[in-house]
Amino acid sequence: MSALLPLATLASSLITAAVIFMLPEQAVRTRTALNLGAALVKLVLVLWMARGLVAGETYAVEFPVVPGLGFVLHVDELGLTFAALSSILWLFTTMYAIGYLEGSPNRRRFFGFFSLCVASTIGISLAGNLFTLLIFYEVLTLSTYPLVAHRGTPQALAAATVYLRYTLTAGLVLMVGMVALHVVAGDLRFGQQETLARLADGQEALLIGLFWVLLLGFGVKAALVPLHGWLPRAMVAPAPVSALLHAVAVVKAGAFGIVRLVYDIYGIGFSAALGVLDGLVVIASVTIVYGSVRALAQQELKPRLAFSTVSQVSYIVLGIGLFGPLGTIAALAHLLHQGLMKVTLFFCAGNYAEELGIHRIDELDGVGRRMPLSSLAFTIGALGMIGMPPVAGFITKWTLGLGAVQADMPWVIAVLIASTLLNAAYFLPILNRLWFRRGPAQGIGTWPDERPPSRFETSAWLLVPALATALLSLLAGMLAGLPFSPLQWATRVVQQTYQVIPL
Amino acid sequence: MNPTSFHVLWLLCAPPALGLLTLVRPPRHGALVLLAGLPLPLVALWLLLGLDTGPLAGQLALGPLLLHWRLDGLAALLWLLTMVLLLASALYAAGYARAAPLDARAYAWLWPLLGGLATGLGLIWIAADLLLLYAGLELMGLCAVGMLLLPGSVAALTAGLRYLLFALVGSLTWLLGIALLLGAWGRLDLAGLAAVAQPDPVTAIAVALLASGLLLKASIFPLHGWLVPVHGSAWTPVSAIHGALVVKASFFILLLLWRLLLPDAIAGALALGALGSLAVLWGGVQAWRAAGLKELVAWSTVGQLGYLMLAFPLLAGTGAAVAALAWQATWLQLAGHALAKSAMFMAAGNLLLATGATRLEGLTGTSRRLPLSLLTFGLAAVTLMGLPPSAGFTAKWLWLQASLAAGQWAWVAVLGLGTLLSAAYVFRVLRCSFVEDAPEPVLRGLPLGMELVALALALAAIGLGLAAAWPLALLPPVSVP
């Protein structure tokens, strides 16, 4: 048993944050080197732990905070899934942010809190009990506030305030729920779901109530309808922040919390026995359809992507709610898939805004000719969201469909079809404009705010991350059969942790 | 070598001696005295660690008077906290005198007053005797008033004299209470009183008198009126130590006496809890509405003191498990708030001194230009809001756990509302600091030490949340009647 690796993983971004706060604002090169170096180190550490976990090692840290309550870091397959996602995407998002914010003020503050934000996602993923999870969950709230408010404009500050109202209230609800659960059942470690099932006699009503209280707490960050109001407004943040918020940090932390709640606290069998999963499926279905419908109505690119996130993250919740191994696999795989695809889309949206000043969808005519590589990446991401093979999103939807059949909930397939049609309805027009409409690139009109042309279609710092994540989402779909693909890893989590053999 | 009563006496006398030394030869001896004061927290720590064989107790004969004292884990922990905070304030004050225009004569008087305050607080922590408690309380109160009068401005004098008036009224009711107890039971040492005193009407009236005096001195709602004006005009290091320790000492005495004399007075305990709840809400609302930064921080003290009052209903008439939780929560909350509040006063003082502003609107753009002060303010605020990881958070967890386990649901709502209100006023400040398109005032440079002292205290409040197991293990277990 090793305590060093989880602590080192956590420290890699915590120390980075502290050092960045101490560096002067002008130390751009040092900061860049530090950011990228730490991101690489963390990625290596996480992969190392994944290798060790497969080889049967255990990694855990534990110390008591007050009598009967411990700070616990415990590495398991599920946590490592989220940790891997955040460390891979941190690397690309950091690269992107370096390019995106070049020459703008307050970069020290930005990158300091950026690192803190990633440190808290790592903490969330490695947390071994609810108390530790809550600690990092709230640190995440605090460290994202300065990122959302970064621009300092009235809109940014208003959006950040709304964000806080939602997340702090949710954090409070979560805390009350967790303390209540603690009073009922003591310090629950993840992976000991039998404890609650054994307690259940005569306390079902209380436990069901607490489940919904905790879900309410996690549901705000996971942007479940009707708790999603903060997410579209937070779009005023700079593009790398949106990418981080939507793909890795905030919404995923909420979804991950729900995964922990169902699988590790209540246990999937017990949750099903309590009858809370049906409610979860209904909420997820409503969110999926509602998010898509609202996305369709957006005329600007980033808000459309934001509502698309509302919809897509609920696939994870849907997969959890489908009581069965395939649903679980789909949920976990989508945690990774959605992250890769959504981050690609936000990178590209940021590229369009930076390079050409494009914010509205109707300004995208003919961009494919001016910025072919970004548009290619965007197309891959969008097709993945629709669920087109061979991009990763197809794997999710296929497995979810199978899971729905397995769970004997055929109406969920109808939800999937409806959502796919809606996805197509809001993404295909964008692709049509990108590639098939004639625009300023062919001499019709002008771009809203074009930057002077550079060597590539835009800065390499902005282009490379978008291409890399697009490539990864393509590979996650095409190579889904290989051992360390998201699908296979998710299957492994389900087999190892929950002793279920899929199909 | 084990701690003896000689060491206790030394720790009581060293701070005022050092303070007087500075008064004689200011300001050249300032640095030397600070250096000499550095080991004081270490001595307190050594006393604390030396108590593993049991508490230290003794008597002091002054003619016919026999004064009892007793140093247990709680007293030693509080003494350690006192020494740390006093030293931090003194270090901060040295920088403050360089950065702000202070009257040299008044500044020289700060040091003996700080020393006297240390003695007064030390006496309160170790007193096992109503008379000794009274002496400590008066010494502390007079030193506090003296420090608050030091700026010499009209506002400071008005507020300080009003504070003195309130403190005197508090002392009078306290003396009346003591006289009643002495008349009824014939003794003033706490252990003896606890043994002989019955919870009859005389005791109840005496405790009510003592309590009202103490509530006034602790500025518990609705007797908090003097607190905010006092902080508005005080020097920052004085505000820091006052908000952190002085008001809490009165709370400490109140809890001590209540547990000894009226452990089963559930209705009274509930009433105190209700006062605390109102304090949380009223302090929060007023802090949210405050126009000036110092007023905001002072109102936040009013609110935060309210949390401590929850100790009364959760300790009285609840089971042993709940009482243990509430006991730990109380002291963790007190220590966390003391560290965070002094850090916050210092950070706020730095922000105001550097920008020359007094109102919140004057802070626009500070997140860029005074990042360290603002970060300190934010870190201190994390504890005040009870967000993790911080002592405030861990304490709030324990409060919630105690309230839920006792089935006293109302406190859950109070804790929740208090959290949201404190977030509202804290983020009002942070929000101002993020505004980019504002005129930039000329900034005054501050000594780095001022920023670092505040930062260290704020980080200590954060760290205490994760390392709470250590002090809580040293805490004597709560006695359940």
Of A335, A415, A420, A343, which Cα lies nearest the Cα of A380? Answer: A343
> Rounded to the nearest 5°, which phi and psi values hold at A237?
-65, 160
- When CB atoms are compared, the residue of A106, A142, A161 closest to B387 is A142
Chain A interface, mutation test: which of B387, B421, B470, most A Cβ atoms within 10 Å? B387
A197 touches chain B (CB under 8 A): no
pLDDT tens figures, A371-397: 999 999 999 999 999 998 889 999 999
Bridge partners (DSSP) of residue A127 are A73
Q: Would you report the helix, strand and coil content of chain A in percent, each value rounded to 5?
A: 75, 5, 20
Q: What is the pLDDT of residue B28?
A: 62
Tell me whether residues B397 and A21 touch, CB distance under 8 A.
no
Q: What is the pLDDT of residue A350?
A: 93
CB B308 within 8 A of CB B468: no
Q: What is the pLDDT of residue A1?
A: 59
Residue A240: what residue type?
P
Q: Which two tokens stand for residue B5?
A: 């009563």
Contacts of B401 in chain A (CB under 8 A): 179, 182-183
CB B372 within 8 A of CB B445: no
Q: What is the pLDDT of residue A438?
A: 87
Tell me whether residues B419 and A172 touch, CB distance under 8 A.
yes
Taking the CA of residue A281 and the nearest CA in chain B, the distance in Å comes to 30
Mean pLDDT of B180-196: 89
Give B480's pLDDT tier (boundaries 50, 70, 90): low
CB B193 within 8 A of CB B159: no
Question: d(Cα A500, Cα A323) in Å, to the nearest integer?
Answer: 12
CB B469 within 8 A of CB A63: yes
Question: d(Cα B91, Cα A52) in Å, to the nearest integer?
Answer: 49
Q: Beta-carbon neighbour count of residue B154 at 10 Å? A: 9
- Cα radius of gyration (chain A): 22
Tell me whether residues B394 and A65 touch, CB distance under 8 A.
yes
B426 touches chain A (CB under 8 A): no
Residue B183: what residue type?
G
Chain B interface, mutation test: which of A101, A142, A153, A213, most B Cβ atoms within 10 Å? A142
pLDDT tens figures, A269-289: 888 888 899 899 999 999 999
3-state secondary structure of B195: helix
Higher pLDDT, B66 or B455: B455
Contacts of A66 in chain B (CB under 8 A): 328, 332, 394, 397-398, 468-469, 472
Question: d(Cα B186, Cα A456) in Å, to the nearest integer?
Answer: 93
Average pLDDT, chain B: 90
What is the phi-psi region of residue B195: left when phi exceeds 0, alpha when psi lies from -120 to 50, beta otherwise? alpha
Average pLDDT, chain A: 90
Taking the CA of residue A164 and the nearest CA in chain B, the distance in Å comes to 9
Question: d(Cα B409, Cα B163) in Å, to the nearest integer?
Answer: 36
pLDDT tens figures, A448-471: 888 877 777 888 889 999 999 999
Q: Which two tokens stand for residue B239?
A: 């505000």
pLDDT tens figures, A11-57: 999 999 999 988 888 888 999 999 999 999 999 999 999 999 888 88
Question: d(Cα B461, Cα B389) in Å, to the nearest integer?
Answer: 9
> Rounded to the nearest 5°, which phi and psi values hold at B100?
-110, 150
- When CB atoms are compared, the residue of B368, B398, B430 closest to A66 is B398
Q: Beta-carbon neighbour count of residue A63 at 10 Å? A: 12
Q: What is the pLDDT of residue A503?
A: 46
For A159, which residue in chain B has the nearest alpha carbon? Answer: B431
Compute the Cα dihedral for A410, A412, A413, A417 and give only its sign.
positive
Contacts of A142 in chain B (CB under 8 A): 382, 387
Higher pLDDT, B101 or B430: B430
Question: d(Cα B68, Cα B53) in Å, to the nearest integer?
Answer: 20
Of A296, A165, A310, which Cα lies nearest the Cα of A224? Answer: A310
Mean pLDDT of A206-219: 94
For B411, which residue in chain A has the nearest alpha carbon? Answer: A176
Contacts of A236 in chain B (CB under 8 A): none
CB A258 within 8 A of CB A219: yes
Taking the CA of residue A419 and the nearest CA in chain B, the distance in Å comes to 37
A387 touches chain B (CB under 8 A): no
Mean pLDDT of B312-341: 93
Give A9's pLDDT tier (boundaries 50, 70, 90): very high
Tell me whether residues A135 and B389 touch, CB distance under 8 A.
yes
pLDDT tens figures, B409-420: 999 999 999 999
> Is the pLDDT score of B262 beyond 90?
no
Contacts of A157 in chain B (CB under 8 A): 431, 434-435
Contacts of A172 in chain B (CB under 8 A): 416, 419-420
Question: d(Cα A316, Cα A252) in Å, to the nearest integer?
Answer: 9
In chain A, what percentage of residues exceed pLDDT 70?
Answer: 98
Chain A interface, mutation test: which of B431, B432, B466, most A Cβ atoms within 10 Å? B431
* Cβ within 8 Å of residue B110, ≥6 positions away: B93, B147, B150, B235, B237, B238
Q: What is the pLDDT of residue B364?
A: 83
